[in-house]
Structure 1
Amino acid sequence: MNNYDYIIIGAGASGLLLADAMGRDSFFAQKKILILDKNSKKANDRTWCYWEKGKGQFDTIVHKEWDNILFEGTKISKKTKIDPYSYKMIRGIDFYDHYLNRIEGYENITFKQEEVVDLLETSTEVTVMTLNNSYVGTFIFTSLFDYKMTTQQQKYPVLQQHFVGWEIKTDKPVFDASEVTYMDFSIPQKGNTRFMYVLPYSNKTALIEYTLFSEKLLPKEEYEEAIKKYIWDRYKCESYEIIDKEAGSIPMTAYDFREHHTERIRYIGTAGGWAKPSTGYTLMKTANKIPKLIDYIKNGEPLKKLKLKNKFWYYDLLFLDVLHFDNANGYKVFESLFKSLSPQMVFKFLDEKTNLREDIIYINACPKTPFIKAFFKRLF
C-alpha cells in the first residue's frame, strides 16, 4: 500500500528531526510515515555550526567545538573567549547516520531514496509523484526549496549567503585549533559583503570558506582563487592537500513563506523560512521549531498558524534592507557590532533572547545612518 498519514519530503535537518520527533511521540505510533529524498544521505555534503551554552541535544554527534572566536575587520582584530557559549560543528554525514539509524528503529516510519517531481492536492489527500512511483499522503511536509518561491515578489529583498569551502591539510602547523575565525573582513570586498570563515580541526587541518552576502553567485573559480590567496596571505602556506570541498547557498530574506502553505502541504526548514534571515543559521532554529510544529499537528490546528514574525523578524528585515541598498559597506555593520559589543551579546541577540533594554544596546552599536534610511524607506 502506498498510502501514508504523513509524507516528509527531504531528509535534511528539518525532515529528519521531524521524523524523529514523530517516532518518539506515542501520538504517532499508529500513523504511517514516509520520508523521501533523492539522495541516499551517505555523503558528507555539508556542515552545520551553532553556538550553545553547556550541553545540548546534538552533543553526541558534534565533530568539533571551540571556546574562542576571532573577528577581523578593516580596523579591528578581536580575539575573545565566548564562555558560557561554545561554538559547535556537526558534519552532515554524522547527522544523517545518527538520525537515519534512529528512524530505522521506528516500525511505522519508512525511508525511500526517490526524487519527488510533483504534488497533486485534493481536499482530502495529496499524491506525491516521484520518478518511478506515486504515494498518497493525508499531510505533506516538504523541505524542497526553490529561489523562485522568494523572487516572484518585490516587497522583501532576497539576498543569498553563498560560499565555497575547502577542507585542507597542511604540511606544517599553521592553525590555532582552539579558535574559530568567525568573520574575517580584511579581504577585498569588491562591491559586496565578503568574508572568510575558518574552522580549524587541528593545527594542520581546517575548513576554510569564502562567504558572501549578495544577490548573485560568483563563478566557481572566483571563490577558489580567493581561498588560495587567503591561505597564502594569512598562513604563508604553499603546500597543502585539499581533503574535501563544499558549496552552498542559503536564502537571506524576511519573505513570509507561509504564502506557499496549503491545507495539506506545509513547507519546513529553509523552504519554510526557518533560516534566520540575517545570518542563515538554520539548525538550532529548526530544532526549536520542531516541537511547536508537533504540537500544531497533534492539536489539529491549521499549519499556517505557525508564525515566524516577531520583533526580531523586523530587526532582520531592516538589516537586509541595509545590505540590499548598500551591499559594499555591509562589513561596517559587523565591524561596528564586534567593536562595541562582546560576542556573547551578539550571540544572545541572534538567538532572539534579548530583552528590550538589550535590544537598544545592540541597535545603538550599529551604524545609525544606513539603518535610519532603511527604516524610513520601509515605512514609506
Structure 2
Amino acid sequence: MKHYHYIFAGSGLAALLTAYRMATSGRFADKQILLIDPDTKTVNDRTWCFWEEGAGEWDSILYRSWNTALFANDDFRTELDFEDYRYKMVRGADFYAFIKAALDAHPNITMLQEMVLSFKDLGTDVLVKTKNTEYTCDKLFNSIYCPTLPALQKKYPVLQQHFIGWHIKTEQPVFNPAVPVFMDFSIPQKGNTRFMYVLPFSETEAIVEYTLFSKDLLPQQEYEAAIQEYIANLGVTHYEILDKEKGSIPMTSYKFWEVNSPNIMHIGSAGGWTKASTGYTFKNANRFSQQLAGFLVSDKSFTEFYKPNRFWFYDLLLLDILAKHNEKGSAIFSAMFRKGKAAPVFKFLDEETSLWGDLKVIWSCPKGLFIKALLGRLF
C-alpha cells in the first residue's frame, strides 16, 4: 500500500489551485502529493468568471475580459460603472492546461485518473480507497461534494445556483462584444430568482445562460425554452449552437469546516469555499488556496483552518430571505446595482470592505427584509 504525504480526493478547481500553490511555494518539494480524479481535465467543461481590480495573476490565460456590464430588470437598464475593476473569464480547458503544465515540472506530484470510493481518518494517517486500490497519507484534502451533509440539517438553508448555457453563433449581429449582460431580471420570475446572463465574444457569438437562485432544479426543457425565448426576443431568427454547459452550485452557509477532522480537510464547494450569496467560486478558491498553502507549513490540525466572519453572517441573512421569499431576489440585487456603481458592491462581495462600507451596501437593500431576517436569527 503506497503512502503519500498529501492526497487530494478530486482534482477540481480548489484541488488544482491548492496543489499549484504548494508546488510554486517551494516548501513541499520533499513531500509526495497525489491528486485522484476520474476525469482527465483536458476538455473545456466549464467557464469561470470573476471581477478583479486591475491586473491579476491569471491574466495570461483569460479568454475575455470586460470593463462594464449591463444590469436590467422590468424597471430599468443600466451599464455598470466598474471603476478599476474588470470582469474576467477563464475557460476550463485553458486553466487545466496551465495548472497541469506547472505541476508536471514537479516530480513529487502525481495525477491519477481513478475514482475515490471512500476515505477515513485513522488517527495516525488517512486510508483512501479507490475503485482499484488503496493508499494512505498523512493528510487528505477532499473536494468531492456530499449534498447529504447540508440536506440533513435545518439550521442553514440550502439553495442552488443552477443554470444551462448555450454558446451560440448567430447570422445577425445582435450582441455588443464590449458589454456582457451581468443580470437581466426582465424575464418572467415565476416565483423565483431568475435571470439571463450573457457573455459576448463578438457581435454574432456569445454564451447565453438561464440562471436561477432557488432550491429546486427545473426540467431541462424549461431552461432551454427560456433561452430560446430570450434569443428570439433579441431578434435572432437563425443561429447555431456551438456548445452547451450546465451546472448546479450549492449556495449555503452550512459550516462544512466543522466536519473536518485533524487529518481530513474539505475544500472547494465541499468545504464551503463557494461564496454562499452568489455562487461564485473562482475568487474564493483562489484566496483560500493561498491561505491553505501557508497554513500547512504551520502543521496545525485541520480543525483550526477556518473561522466564520461577519460576511458569512451577511450571506446567511440573504439566503434566509431567498429560502422563504425566493421571488425577492430581483428586488434585492436591483437595489444593490440600481445606481450603476458596481465597484463598491464588488468590494463588499469580495469581503474587502470596512464595516462602514458593509453598511452602505446593506443599507441600499430592502431594509424590512433584512431586519426581519436578522431578528429571526437573533431570536
Alignment TM-score, normalising by the size of structure 2: 0.98
1:121-132 to 2 correspondences below 5 Å: 121-132=121-132
Give the gaps of 5 or more residues in structure 2. none
Distance 1:222 1:163 in 2: 11
Q: Which residue of 2 aligns with 1:77?
A: 77
Q: Which residue of 1 aligns with 2:259?
A: 260
**Deviation (angstroms), 1:308:** 4.3
1:364 is the counterpart of 2:363: yes
Distance 1:108 1:5 in 2: 10
**Deviation (angstroms), 1:341:** 5.6
Q: Which residue of 2 aligns with 1:43?
A: 43
1:281 is the counterpart of 2:280: yes
Q: Which residue of 1 aligns with 2:137?
A: 137
1:7-46 to 2 correspondences below 5 Å: 7-46=7-46
Distance 1:308 1:73 in 2: 36
Alignment check: 8 A CA contact 2:78 2:340 kept: no
Partner SS state of residue 187, structure 2? coil
Structure 2 counterpart of 1:346, one-letter code: V
**Deviation (angstroms), 1:321:** 0.7
Identity of aligned residues (%): 46
Alignment check: 8 A CA contact 1:66 1:86 kept: yes
Q: Which residue of 2 aligns with 1:211?
A: 211
Q: Which residue of 1 aligns with 2:64?
A: 64
Q: Which residue of 1 aligns with 2:347?
A: 348
**Deviation (angstroms), 1:188:** 0.3
Alignment check: 8 A CA contact 1:296 1:302 kept: no
1:187 is the counterpart of 2:196: no
Partner SS state of residue 157, structure 2? coil
Q: Which residue of 1 aligns with 2:378?
A: 379
Distance 1:329 1:290 in 2: 33
Structure 2 counterpart of 1:111, one-letter code: M
Distance 2:128 2:190 in 1: 44
**Deviation (angstroms), 1:316:** 0.8
**Deviation (angstroms), 1:81:** 3.7
Q: Which residue of 1 aligns with 2:325?
A: 326
Kindly report structure 1 stretches of 4+ aligned residues shifted beyond 3 Å. none
Partner SS state of residue 345, structure 2? helix
Q: List per-residue Cα deviations over 1:12-49 (Å, max 9, x = no partner).
A: 11111111111123321111000111100121111100
Structure 1 counterpart of 2:271, one-letter code: G
Distance 1:379 1:369 in 2: 15
1:201 is the counterpart of 2:204: no
Alignment check: 8 A CA contact 1:296 1:303 kept: no
Count residues with an aligned counterpart: 379
Structure 2 counterpart of 1:358, one-letter code: G
Q: List per-residue Cα deviations over 1:181-239 (Å, max 9, x = no partner).
A: 00000000011100000000111110111000100100011000100000011x11021
Alignment check: 8 A CA contact 1:340 1:365 kept: no
Partner SS state of residue 27, structure 1? coil
Decide whether aligned partners of structure 1 residues 338 and 317 sit closer, same or farther in structure 2, where only a CA change above 3 A counts.
Answer: same
**Deviation (angstroms), 1:6:** 0.4
Decide whether aligned partners of structure 1 residues 16 and 179 sit closer, same or farther in structure 2, where only a CA change above 3 A counts.
Answer: same
Structure 2 counterpart of 1:82, one-letter code: F
1:226 is the counterpart of 2:226: yes
Structure 2 counterpart of 1:9, one-letter code: A
Q: List per-residue Cα deviations over 1:117-176 (Å, max 9, x = no partner).
A: 111331111121111121111110011002112111111111111000110011121100
Decide whether aligned partners of structure 1 residues 338 and 316 sit closer, same or farther in structure 2, where only a CA change above 3 A counts.
Answer: same
Distance 1:303 1:140 in 2: 10
Give the gaps of 5 or more residues in structure 1. none
**Deviation (angstroms), 1:293:** 1.0
Q: List per-residue Cα deviations over 1:39-78 (Å, max 9, x = no partner).
A: 0012111110001111111111100001111000121111
Structure 1 counterpart of 2:161, one-letter code: Q
